[in-house]
Amino acid sequence: MAYPTLQFARLSYGTADFYSDENNQNAFIRINADTTSGSPIITNVGEQAGGAFTTTELKVGMTLVSSGEFASDVTIIALDLGSNQLTVSANATVSATDQVMRVRPSKGMYFFASASFAKVGTGEPSDLRDITGSQDADYDSNELKWGIAASLAATGSVTQTVSGLYGQYEITDIQSRISNTEMNFFATASDSIPSFIEGSGSQVSAGAGTLMVSQISNNLMTIAGASDVGGGGQGLALAAYQSAVGSVFSTLTSGSGGGAAFPHTGSAQITGSLGVTGSSEILLNNTENFLIKNAVSPTQSLFQIDDEGVAQFRAREGSDGIPTAVVGGLYYTTSSAFLGVDGV
């Protein structure tokens, strides 16, 4: 079986062009809109000067701030820009017209403006034309997704990079390609994939300036030598291991260790002994069988239960000989059945 070789490169960004829950949070998008007391729907959404970007960059999950109209920050849960309206996570406390509202990425969502691409040596990605966001209209689901490894900062200190602390994020949307080596894009953490979950006390650092961009396979990104990435140091080049090792081993822990040891679906092959403590259930679908086979002759089924619930033992033939008699033993030939009992 062939395994993919994960390609990688480097992206650079500046603090002034990086937008997050804590960096440039009041300068990302500004809108004018109306609210109705007791309703979560914001209407007559229009552009407002002062934001770096426009309603085109609005996304579900972003945070909206309008302190006079809502009791606290709210989250955008639905967009209908064709009707110039959006829905948020709480009802407005007052009715208002043409109010200025600020929108920023929520925690775990990041927008990089004018990020520049660099590649050491040859090979893919040769430039940004090889990189696509997983939510882009032209994304091919048969191709690998792309992600970034980023240096992290503690929450509350977005520009102060924590040495040796890294995170992984999926590139979800390339908002615009300024050139073949410069783009604006969104990257997000995951709520469910362990290696892409962002810790509650960390966030992408606004002060690091360098990202490693890599293809993603089986929820894992690649590692590289520092000189092959060309910036960010050896720590960033190996960052994917920091997230991957913990997440992979957490899925292999025993049930007593808090992990789900064997919650797998599909096929599995175990060589050696398997011990099961407690109850065990084997569920068969309509066309599935439960089989016990001879390891020396794998095509030879010793015992099976078919999809109708019929148990079937292998019938011994003349060349197989007569097995050693044991109390409670049972074996078949093509014409007889034998049961082992104490001699009388």
Determine how β-strand 29-35 pairs with β-strand 41-47: antiparallel
Largest CA distance in the chain: 101
**Between the CA of residue 262 and those of 139, 251, 267, 278, what are the distances in Å?**
33, 9, 12, 14
Helices (H) and strands (E) in the chain, counts: 3, 21
In this structure, of 49-53, 185-189, 310-314, the range with the lowest mean pLDDT score is: 310-314
When pLDDT is cut at 50, 70 and 90, the band that residue 271 belongs to is: confident
- What average pLDDT does range 282-308 have in this prediction? 72
Q: What is the pLDDT of residues 112-136, one digit of tens each?
A: 999 999 999 988 899 999 999 999 9
pLDDT, residue 265, reads 62
| Rounded CA Rg of the chain | 29
pLDDT, residue 259, reads 47
Q: Calculate the CA 97 to chain-centre distance.
A: 40
Gap between the Cα atoms of 21 and 198, Å rounded? 13
User: Is 65 within 8 Å of 135 (Cβ atoms)?
Assistant: no
Q: What is the pLDDT of residues 245-263, one digit of tens each?
A: 766 666 655 444 444 555 5
Token code pair at residue 86:
């959006």
Sketch the domain layout of the chain as residue ranges.
8-14+108-249, 26-104, 271-344
pTM score of the predicted model:
0.74
Gap between the Cα atoms of 188 and 173, Å rounded? 9
User: Is 65 within 8 Å of 102 (Cβ atoms)?
Assistant: yes
Q: What is the pLDDT of residues 172-225, one digit of tens each?
A: 999 999 999 999 999 999 988 888 999 999 999 999 999 999 999 988 899 999
